[in-house]
A and B are shown apart, each in its own frame.
Chain A
Amino acid sequence: MVGMRALVIAAEEGGHGAVEAGTGGFWADTAGIMLVLPFVAFLLILAFGKRLKYKGGELAVGALAINLLWATVLFVLNMTGGVLDQTTFEIARIGSDLVFELGWVVDGLSIMMYFLVNFVGLLVFIYALGYMEGDVRVDWFFAAFSLFAGAMLVLVGAPNLIQMIIGWEGVGLASYFLIGFYWEDLDNVRAGNKAFMTNKVADVGLILGTILVGVAIGSFDFSELSIAAAEHAEALGAVAVAGGLLLFFGAMGKSAQFPLHIWLPDAMAGPTPVSALMHAATMVTAGIYLMARVFPLFQNLAQDTRGLMVVIGAITLFAIGLLALVADDIKKVLAYSTVSQLGYMMTAVAAGGYTAGLFHLFTHAFFKALLFLGAGAVIHAVHSNNMSDMGGLRKEMPTTYWTFVVGSLALAGIIPLAGFWSKDEILATLGHEGYTAVMWIAIAGAFVTAFYMARAVALTFHGTYKGEGHPHEAPRVMTAPLVGLAIPSIFVGILNIPGVDWPGIGNFTEWLGVRVVPMGDYHPEGIDWSLAAIGLVAAGAGLALGWLIFSRDRATQKARDRFEVPALYPLLRQKYFIDHAALGVVGATTGPIARFIDWTNTYIIDGIINLVGGVVKALGEFVYGTIDQRAVDGVFNGLSAVTDGAGSAVRRLQTGRVQQYAAGFVAGALILVVVFVLIV
């Protein structure tokens, strides 16, 4: 294993205004442990999970606990001085210029993700100890969950596009396994297939984009890519727009951007901890992370792609967010909300707001995981996903209720909770970069967000209980992670208040900026209070309206739904018909095409073959019957005796006429060969 210091060296020699940073010493050198431990847990759980008290949950939690130690130390080191380091080893070398490496990169971006994945992951794993207790195949659950954690860390630690692809498909695999966790029901299997296939379609973009960009600069390394982009390298410039679009297409799949978002709501078929960690907090942000990793490409060379990306992000954040208004399944509400928030992140990054997009990724992970875990606690208590079976739970489940309210307010963007600061920075960036119309869409989106969260809180926790049985508060093992996520949901926003430097540690923007090539994106100097006020008004109005309509327990769910948005209602309930269209087209075409291909195989290609066979056989019979028997009888009498002997020997092995055909053909072929030889 050969260690390299490519990043630091590149930063020093490249002279791209590199940030001051240390190498992180021991903790960076050994950071690879984080990428490996979850896989170790995965294998151990597969082997011994069934025999353990928590069915392997203890191993999964243990691995992430150790990981969190590393991540936290690195996080603190990066806060206080900056850490920039990379360790790689070669896994393949073809000729002189195609090199594949694995390893781990330690810089501001990856450290943020290490911390996020391990922190949220650990809390969700602990929660799952309670949530999954007594469920089927708990050992497989924790094994697959660990597999996910490992693959996700491989992804975020990737020093190059190849390793990112490996992690990328690895998390996709874990996602497939866990969406289809209850595979006895084929509907869940189909949801898993849908997720895998949608992502596979997008992966075509990722793979081809990787090839275009990698071949152009002669390396798949992100630091090489950043430097080439910063230097406006000619070779890269020629393919930058195409490569950028392809990579973006790949990101659209994992990060559920319109119209490839269709898999994410269905992915809620998996157990709720899975939805919280993978399909809300971490895995679905992989696309945003990819965009951030290759940000210099878009910043310096592929600016032409920005308009399209911003529009896709804007459609995603607004149009898909609207779908949350009409969902009855609480997890679907949150899923559409996740898609919408991913739209915010993508819009921000696409518009040039590297920090803004990633800061929202950071804050969102805490409060969205919190909301999902809260929803899981409720589902656990009432045994239904539907809000029409809930209501009035605030009395029975106070901890869940209060933490859920915190998460909702944070998501809605109410000052001073986390979501306010990150959303405000996105709005400010959009305004500054000249995307004014999109900024207003984002503000409208904030209204929608607040509205559906008020609806969700009201329907779930207020009014009267409409379900069966007597729900109880979740056990401590589940409520403790709720509290553990509620605290950062309140406070992490202040890490990046525009213009504020916390003594000794600076702010989130600085930590994230520790990269080989500084991102050079826009940061608001101070708070634009008028913009913040507009955002707050939108959010407040959404909350108020949602509360007014849904907090009173006077109407049935159906009546209120219709009251909601009369014109849009049918369209939204049908999810804009995108799912129907996509699945309809795929379903209507693939089957017939496949059957047609199979038909051509049997009747055209094989038909020709069989025809030739038949003709040759007839010819053989003619030759034998007409020419041979009458003309060259004498010559062949001797030969046929030999053939007969051989034939009867073979006949002892089997009955049938194959041998005769074969012998005939061998003879024929040999004659052919002889003829050819003579000609040549």
Chain B
Amino acid sequence: MEWFETWGLTIIVFLPLVGALILGVIPKDNEDALKTTGLVATLLAFLASLVLIAQFDYSGGVYNTYQFEVEESWIGAINANYHVGVDGISLPLLVLSTFVVVLAVIYSWNHWDEPKNPKAFLILMLILATGMNGTFVALDLVLFFIFFEVVLLPMYFMIGIWGDKSPRKVPGFSKLFETRLYAAIKFFLFTLFGSAFMLLGFLALYFESGNFGERTFDIVELTRLGSGGAFTGTFAFLVFGAMFLGFAVKVPMWPFHTWLPDAHTAAPTVGSVLLAAILLKLGSYGFIRISLPILPQEAVNWAPAIAILAVIGIIYGSLACLAQTDMKRLIAFSSVGHMGFVMLGIATMTDVGINAAIIGMVAHGLITGLLFFLAGSMSHRYHTREMSRLGGNIKLMPVMGGILAFTAMASLGLPGLAGFWGEFMALVSAYNPLEGLSLGVFRTSMVLGAVGTVLTAGYMLWMLQRVNLGEPPNEWEGHTFHDVDRYEAAAWVPLIVLIVAIGFFPKVIFTSTTDTVTSLVDMAFDPEVTAALGSLMKGG
């Protein structure tokens, strides 16, 4: 398996793209061939990531060292390289990405939103997969940016073409918009707005790095410089701010979140699942991989602000959930709250907090992904997402209702299921943030975050009451509904198993992350380490 060392990541990233190219030449009406190709491509990428898990060396990860690393010259003129690699932080997220895409393809097998067209949809899904996988392994800012942006277009088309056609009133405009159009544009513009600034930050780093040797986009190199204290002052402030905009929109953090409920509500089921499960993590991953290690001192300056926005997101998102009438929109808003916990963890700048963020990201991916699958399947059957028209679902479809109850419990952070650890550990870390950070801000955040868990329980139980319990409304009398079919079961059971497994044995994730994260925090904030790195620096 020597070759896997060098080719493994490239295979995982580009296999889906190859699949997309093959799909391009398969006739549109040969649906079976299309689906099989899509499944094979994503499944192979997933299997390759399993090989990655098996071959990964988990012993004492030192931050800023990567495995399965490849570095090839790419755009010589700007010293941009094809540099990829994984470490303990990106490994679980990469596997999450390859895994959820497979489930999405399986689910799609007989669930095509109008206007169907499996060929185009599968191609978009595969391009999306390449973008997502690539973002998690990119070690060069240009490469990272490209993968980060590649994700945008397929999702834009998914929402804009396969999305919800119903008209929607937009405040400030007199005419009605199609939900999908408004949502797709909003998603696209918002993200692009953020990433324009992010790119600006990347470029600034590139030019500034010239003071310490050759200009570079290399994340490893920049991390080394940053830990040594290369980037400081107003420069660091502006660069961090620029990158913050890019990542914060993607997470999304309050108040940059409003594209999310619209995008989710409008998106086709699989689009929502991928959006919630993976796309949101690109933002928080960016904070951990780029902002924090490269600009550690500046991150400390920003940390209280991030924590405050995160907590506003937790409370605000949960309260907004309590006002929703649309089931999918409710789930979408719940993401704002859950990602708030992730960001709170990161803002503490501690190993506990960053580990909390990573397991929170994985758990949110699994749980909210499953919730969107369920919401999609239910609206597929009821042809409505309005909770006031639903009720007694568990009577009409016992299995689906049961899974919905389970997932809602997981989402409200029930201990023993995956969602608990991210929330609990984020609170632990907020109690004891990095030395020097304001205890007042963070401990207040801890208390408010804990209150947020109560609100979360509130809206989840409320949703269950309205959707699952009681007698079904008269509207559905005489209807028979097909309970969970086998494609749905095949896509959902693995998620359920993982939610329970991670809940009872979070080591599944922490085995990979903990050493790397500890070393990341040491490298960024331990005075001895940073001083040593600083003295190694050329020039400055």
Contact = CB atoms under 8 A, between A and B. Distances in A.
A184 B470 contact: yes
Interface stretch (A298-306, A481-489, A656-664): A656-664
Interface stretch (B23-31, B32-40, B422-430): B422-430
A170 B160 contact: no
Nearest to B514: A94
Interface stretch (B13-21, B451-459, B476-484, B526-534): B451-459
A204 B457 CA distance: 12
Given A95-B351, A215-B428, A672-B196, A594 B323 contact: yes
Contacts of A204: 450-451, 453-454
B431 A212 contact: yes
Contact of A598 (B190, B196, B320): B320
A193 B351 CA distance: 36
Contacts of B186: 609
A525 B504 CA distance: 46
A610 B170 CA distance: 8
Nearest to A190: B465
Given A95-B352, A95-B518, A212-B431, A169 B424 contact: no
B156 A207 contact: no
B450 A656 contact: no
Given A169-B414, A204-B454, A598-B323, A211 B428 contact: yes
B320 A597 contact: yes
B323, B427, B431 — most chain A CB neighbours (10 Å): B323
Nearest to B172: A610
Interface stretch (B2-10, B135-143, B197-205): B197-205
A93 B352 CA distance: 10
A76 interface: no
Contacts of A102: 504
Contacts of A203: 453-454
A58 B45 CA distance: 46
A577 interface: no
Interface string B125-164: 0000000000000000000000000000000110011000
Given A166-B416, A193-B461, A212-B431, A661 B185 contact: yes
A207 B448 CA distance: 12
B458 A605 contact: no
Interface stretch (A106-114, A194-202, A402-410, A433-441): A194-202
Interface string A74-93: 00000000000000001111
A602 B431 contact: no
Contacts of B507: 90-93
A611 interface: yes
Contacts of B170: 606, 610
Given A196-B457, A197-B457, A654-B161, A207 B469 contact: no
A208 interface: yes
A491 interface: no
A54 interface: no
B207 interface: yes
Interface residues of A, number: 71
A661 B177 CA distance: 13
Contact of A614 (B157, B173, B454, B517): B173
B188 A665 contact: yes
Nearest to A194: B461
Interface in B394-429: 394-395, 409, 414-416, 420-421, 424-425, 427-428
Contacts of B199: 673
A590 B322 contact: yes
B485 interface: no
Given A186-B465, A654-B160, A680-B200, A662 B351 contact: no
B120 interface: yes
A189 interface: yes
B221 interface: no
Nearest to B456: A200
Given A92-B421, A189-B470, A658 B185 contact: yes
Contacts of A183: 394, 469-470
A495 interface: no
Given A92-B421, A183-B469, A653-B157, A197 B454 contact: yes
A680 to B, nearest CB: 6
A180, A193, A662 — most chain B CB neighbours (10 Å): A662
Interface residues of B, number: 75
Interface in A384-423: none
A605 B255 contact: yes
B392 A184 contact: yes
B457 A94 contact: no
B415 A662 contact: no
Contacts of A653: 120, 157, 161
B352 A197 contact: no
A273 to B, nearest CB: 21
A565 interface: no
A597 B319 contact: yes
A100 interface: yes
A115 B319 CA distance: 44
A169 B424 CA distance: 13
A208 B427 CA distance: 8
Interface in A206-261: 207-208, 211-212, 214-215
Contacts of B156: 662
B178 A614 contact: no
B207 A680 contact: yes
A208 B446 contact: yes
Nearest to B178: A656
Contact of B258 (A90, A606, A672): A606
A631 interface: no
Nearest to A202: B454
B465 A189 contact: yes
Contacts of A95: 351-352, 514, 517-518
B471 A184 contact: yes
Interface in A664-680: 665-666, 669, 672-673, 676-677, 680
B421 to A, nearest CB: 7
Contacts of B64: none
A173 B421 CA distance: 17
Contact of B181 (A201, A214, A605, A658): A658
A207 B323 contact: no
A98 interface: yes
Q: Which 8 A-B pairs have the closest CB atoms?
A: A594-B322, A598-B323, A594-B323, A610-B172, A166-B415, A183-B469, A597-B319, A92-B506
Given A92-B510, A183-B469, A606-B171, 14 more contacts: A92-B421, A94-B352, A94-B510, A96-B518, A168-B415, A173-B409, A189-B470, A203-B454, A208-B446, A597-B316, A605-B255, A605-B258, A662-B156, A665-B192
Interface of A: 90-96, 98, 100, 102, 162, 165-166, 168-170, 173, 176, 180, 183-186, 189-190, 193, 196-197, 200-201, 203-204, 207-208, 211-212, 214-215, 590-591, 593-595, 597-598, 601-603, 605-607, 609-611, 613-614, 653-654, 656-658, 661-662, 665-666, 669, 672-673, 676-677, 680
25 contacts: A91-B504, A94-B351, A95-B351, A100-B506, A170-B414, A184-B395, A184-B469, A189-B470, A196-B461, A197-B458, A207-B424, A208-B446, A215-B431, A591-B322, A594-B319, A597-B320, A598-B319, A606-B258, A609-B186, A611-B172, A614-B172, A658-B160, A665-B188, A665-B189, A676-B196
